[in-house]
Amino acid sequence: MTVDVTVVGGGISGFACARAVRDAGGSVRVIDRGRRPGGRLASRTLEGRAVDLGASYFVVGEDAGFAGLVADWESRGVARPWTDTFSLFDADGAETRKTGPMRWAAPAGSRALVLDLADGIDVESGREVTRAAPFRVDGQDAGEVVLAMPEPQARRLGHGIPVAPQEWEPVIAVVLRWDERRWPVDLHGAFVNGDPDIAFLADDGDRRGDGAPVLVVHSTGDAARRHLDAPDDAIPAVVAATRRLLGIGAEPDSVRAHRWTFARPARPTGEPFLRTPGLSWCGDAWGEAAAVRTAWASGDALGRALAGS
């Protein structure tokens, strides 16, 4: 049976769209190529523990709908306030502390946020969509089709995608685990300016609240582009830069690398979403700034617009 809306892409934007359609009484399904939903809020189980590889945190912002969702997540233990203070390292290694908005994280890993949104939604996981067109997915009737994915991925699904090409920055996320914590207890996360290899690092044990001696380090875009074909080749430089900045004498006990070819849009569109008859588009590129809250708001707004029609 054909549904009202078919969403292709199982990240936070796709499920925000699907829930908005369902909550308005429409029928919806989500198709995702991964084994489990998550998108760029993915967590990977390493040595029996989920590690956040994608978005490092989220900020609530001013959207009342997203604020209400976060309040619900907090009440049920799905999300928790993490920190309002990050370090900033300059090219010489000098450190300053910067206070800003509260950053939030998920105790069970960021994928838990998407899984919570996916509860009760018809999901077809592990399916690679090869063709999308107005009202059709892989040649079959699909109702209104929503592409909830980066533009370069969406463009592979068909000709005539009604949007200009978008530039996306790659990132290689490197997980470093030691036998014990070897960095200051008040280091939650840090931005790194001027380093050719790393741009951000997060204390994953502090972020998750379990104290695990794990850092997740995000490469610069230039470093990721150099190593997209072989992400493990980025590991030595990332480890060296991390140890130098944090004064860690010992090599990590284990290291893993994960490639994000389309990690973040270079220039968000400023528009909430793209809607055309039978084929629409949402995600963190459709807003004022690339962020988790932007992705949710884009999908939610598109879902409500589709349901209203």
What are the pLDDT digits (tens) for 127-184?
A: 999 999 999 999 999 999 999 999 999 999 987 777 888 999 999 999 999 999 999 9
User: Please, which residues bridge with residue 123 across strands?
Assistant: 30
User: What is the spatial distance between Cα 298 and Cα 291, in angstroms, rounded to a whole number?
Assistant: 11
Q: Is residue 173 part of a domain?
A: yes
CATH assignment of the domain containing 157: 3.50.50.60
Do 273 and 148 lie in a common domain? Answer: yes
Q: Is residue 66 part of a domain?
A: no
Do 182 and 256 lie in a common domain? Answer: yes
Q: Is residue 235 part of a domain?
A: yes
Confidence tier at 65 by pLDDT (50, 70, 90): very high
Do 224 and 290 lie in a common domain? Answer: no
CATH assignment of the domain containing 252: 3.90.660.10
Q: Is residue 76 part of a domain?
A: no
Predicted TM-score of the model (pTM): 0.95
Burial class (CB in 10 A: 0-12, 13-18, 19+), 124: middle
Do 116 and 239 lie in a common domain? Answer: no
Distant-in-sequence, close-in-space partners of 144: CB < 8 Å, separation ≥ 6: 4, 5, 6, 135, 278, 279, 280, 306
User: What is the spatial distance between Cα 214 and Cα 205, in angstroms, rounded to a whole number?
Assistant: 6
Predicted confidence at residue 243, as pLDDT, reads: 96
Do 218 and 255 lie in a common domain? Answer: yes
Count the domains in the chain. 2
R_g of the chain computed on alpha carbons: 20
Q: Domain residues for 145?
A: 1-55+110-166+269-309
Q: Is residue 72 part of a domain?
A: no
Predicted confidence at residue 153, as pLDDT, reads: 93
> pLDDT tens digit string along 214-272?
999 999 999 999 999 999 999 999 999 999 999 999 999 999 999 999 999 999 999 99
Do 174 and 123 lie in a common domain? Answer: no
Do 243 and 302 lie in a common domain? Answer: no
